Amino acid sequence: MKLLILAAVTLFTSLAAAGVVITPIRPDQVIPKASDDCFFGVTTPQGCGPARSA
């Protein structure tokens, strides 16, 4: 059990350090797209991603 917890903590730490943390994008975070922005999803000041419902 301790090994499983250690593995999970290690995985989440490495993902967070790599900047691969998925957070929901709410409608109040969306900014207008430019022509070369995000061919999928919506644009935010931090990047692109799929919009989530409020």
What pLDDT was estimated at residue 52? 72
Residue 22: half-sphere exposure toward Cβ, Cα within 13 Å:
4
Whether 49 is in a domain gets the answer yes
Number of domains in the chain: 1
Query: What tens digit of pLDDT does each residue of 19-45 get?
Result: 656 778 888 888 888 877 777 788 888
Whether 29 is in a domain gets the answer yes
Whether 11 is in a domain gets the answer no
pLDDT of 49 strictly over 90? no
Whether 30 is in a domain gets the answer yes
Whether 38 is in a domain gets the answer yes
Query: What tens digit of pLDDT does each residue of 9-21 get?
Result: 998 888 777 665 6
Residue type, 34: A
Question: Cβ contacts of residue 30 below 8 Å, gap of 6+?
Answer: 42, 43, 44, 51
> Domain of 34?
25-54
What pLDDT was estimated at residue 40? 78
Residue 10: half-sphere exposure toward Cβ, Cα within 13 Å:
6
